[in-house]
Amino acid sequence: MSALDARHGIGVSPGTAVGPVVQVRPPVRPPALEPASTDPAASGQLVRQILESVAATLDDRAARVDAAAQQILAATAMMARDPGLSAAVDKHLASGRGPATAVDAATEEYCAIFIAAGGYLAERVTDLRDVRDRAVARLLGLEDPGVPELTEPAVIVAHDLAPAETAGLRRDLVLAIVTESGGPTSHTAILAAQMGIPAVVQLPHAVAIGDGTVLAVDGSTGEVFVDPDPATRAELVQRSERRAKALGTTSGPAATSDGHPVALLANIGTAQDAERAGALDVEGVGLFRTEFLFLDRETAPSLEEQVAVYTRVFEAFGTRRGVVRTLDAGADKPLAFADLGHEENPALGMRGLRLSAERPDLLDTQLTALATAARATGSDVRVMAPMVATAEEAAWFARRVHENGLPTVGVMIEVPAAALRARHVLAEVDFASIGTNDLAQYTLAADRTQGELATLLDPWQPALLDLVAAACGGGRDAGKPIGVCGEAAADPLLALVLTGLGVNSLSMAATRVPAVRAALSLHDLPTCAAMAEAARAARSPQDARDAVLGLAHRLMTDLV
Ligand code: PEP
Ligand code: MG
């Protein structure tokens, strides 16, 4: 297939890759009206066989992983073989349920007991549900759901991937990620960029591509080539080389060509991210999404556990700054231990700082852990709150941070109200960082997890840029620094616009820093200001992009 036959999605994590497809199958639920088993004893026997086959698969996997993973898989296999589980299935079969429904009901009973027991057992609920999902799929004659165990490098293709699934992917074997759904600012896209895996979302009919089909993926342009011919493969390699060349040889603290400094920082979510990013040429951490540490936890992490992980993160950055965001739970990042129950509109509900106000115990434990780790490492730790809407909330958070012995406090500006009233919000704290992902979601009234709304969520939306300008104006009035840590910061062309609007730090997946640094080095501050003006004067995101590209250095076409 030639370059003309590319399919188009949205590139969300740069880089190119060629490899065979491995499809991720979604979990299947038992049929809604599954008929009662006509022979409960025979069905019970069948379920035992299926559970044994699931246990055997897990044993098989255990033989090929490291010691820690081995223990978990062995424990999960034991749960599949637990006679108590089969006996609970028998009970549901006898009461008139079909086999898949009986497995589901029996597993959920066990999960409830595990959750009530708390601690280690509660942490096993995810594994137990994995056993259930495999058993239900096998009973229905389907393939196991989830990310298959990879033995060879592959391009992972899915309808969508949950952030927890993405976090569990093996970086050494996943060449690229392609999803049919998912938005460019979804947490899956963010994680892929952080892990340095090329990724494309919103690829039409991606799930219909057969396992083993070879794909060539360009995570910058969003192009995907099915069964690429040698010429297409060669073109992809050339693209990578051109981009690498355009990155030039800039290093160290970033600045525009006339010397205006812009701190380039890393977004991280785990200690491993910190260790990877800490080894790179970045000025520190601009956003540590602490909730990423605990996505699969059923119980709240202890103080000691948090001190240990924060210490590891701060050590990776030495004396460089470390901006830590307190838990941003809720909406698309639910944390089981911070669940406040069903909400009609979770993105507009008790998420972020609002949840911390409801559960101050969680916030205080986290702040104590951060203060302890900061003291132990002597790091420049700055703490910021997610989802701040008002100056009162900013003041409440600042008080709590100071009470816990942390000197530097900031807020995220991701709610339009906070952007419009940034002067008052910033009067309460030391700095702000604009979360353009949520700010776009709330400005355009478009759910960021809904890939079909990607056009509205485009960070080039002039309305979004107007709000960034308003926030920067508030920062200037209050005499406080303001950064951007949403995905907008990682677009080299848009980074110039943000700089022109008055932003003084940009935080992104560490792998994106070289391109943004190169872009800044090619332009002076007055040009960035002119670009900002042109973008805000435009009528649409595309017009804004075109207008800015018209003012940009010719090498920018290879950087974007
Ligand atoms: C944002 O909203 O832009 C942001 C940086 O936070 P998150 O993506 O984690 O919601
Ligand atoms: Mg956000």
CA-to-CA separations, 253 to 123, 283, 321, 453, 528, in angstroms, rounded = 42, 7, 13, 36, 18
Looking at residue 249, its pLDDT comes to 77
Q: Which residue has the tokens 């090498």?
A: 555
Residue with the smallest CA separation from ligand 1 atom 6 is 435
Domain ranges, ordered by start, for the chain: 3-25+146-230, 40-139, 254-559
How many angstroms is it from 547 CA to the middle of ligand 1?
A: 27
How many angstroms is it from 535 CA to the middle of ligand 1?
A: 22
Closest alpha carbon to 202 in 542, 28, 34, 448: 448
How many angstroms is it from 420 CA to the middle of ligand 1?
A: 18
Closest alpha carbon to 263 in 282, 289, 250: 282
Question: Which tokens sit at 79?
Answer: 């749960």
Measured from CB, residues less than 6 Å from any atom of ligand 1 are 190, 287, 289, 328, 414, 435-438, 485-486
Class of domain 3-25+146-230: alpha beta
pLDDT tens string, the chain, 560 residues long: the values are: 444 478 999 999 989 999 999 999 888 899 988 999 999 999 999 999 999 999 999 888 888 766 767 787 888 899 999 999 999 999 999 999 999 999 999 999 999 998 888 777 777 887 889 899 999 999 999 988 988 888 899 999 999 887 767 777 888 999 999 999 887 887 778 888 888 899 999 999 999 999 999 999 999 889 999 999 999 999 998 988 888 888 877 899 999 999 999 999 999 999 988 999 999 999 999 999 999 888 878 889 999 999 999 999 999 999 999 999 999 998 888 888 888 888 889 999 999 999 999 999 999 999 999 999 999 999 999 999 999 999 999 999 999 999 999 999 999 999 999 999 999 999 999 999 999 999 999 999 999 888 888 889 999 999 999 999 999 999 999 999 999 999 999 999 999 999 999 999 999 999 889 999 999 999 999 999 999 999 999 999 999 999 999 999 988 888 77
Closest ligand relative to 483 C-alpha: 1
Instruction: Give dist(CA 540, CA 471) in Å, integer.
Output: 21
Instruction: Tell me which residues are annotated as active site.
Output: 187, 485
Residue with the smallest CA separation from ligand 1 atom 3 is 435
Compute, in degrees rounded to 10, the torsion defined by CA atoms 396, 398, 400, 405: -170
Instruction: Please give the sequence-ordered ranges of beta strands (E in DSSP) within 143-198, or none if there are none.
Output: 154-158, 174-179
Instruction: Please give the sequence-ordered ranges of beta strands (E in DSSP) within 386-430, or none if there are none.
Output: 408-413
Residue with the smallest CA separation from ligand 1 atom 8 is 437
Closest alpha carbon to 380 in 306, 329, 430, 414: 430
pTM of the model: 0.80
Out of 412, 468, 491, 494, mutate this one to test ligand 1's pocket (max ligand atoms within 8 Å of CB): namely: 412
How many angstroms is it from 163 CA to the middle of ligand 2?
A: 14
Residue with the smallest CA separation from ligand 1 atom 4 is 435
**What CATH code is assigned to 254-559?**
3.20.20.60
Instruction: Give dist(CA 387, CA 395) in Å, integer.
Output: 14
Give the atom of ligand 1 at the shortest distance from the alpha carbon of 486.
Answer: 3
Looking at residue 68, its pLDDT comes to 66
Class of domain 40-139: mainly alpha
Instruction: Give dist(CA 200, CA 150) in Å, integer.
Output: 20
Question: Which tokens sit at 426?
Answer: 């910033």
Closest ligand relative to 484 C-alpha: 1
How many angstroms is it from 387 CA to the middle of ligand 2?
A: 7
Give the atom of ligand 1 at the shortest distance from the alpha carbon of 437.
Answer: 3
CA-to-CA separations, 300 to 123, 207, 242, 297, 525, in angstroms, rounded = 10, 36, 47, 7, 46
Closest ligand relative to 436 C-alpha: 1
Write the DSSP symbol of residue 151. S
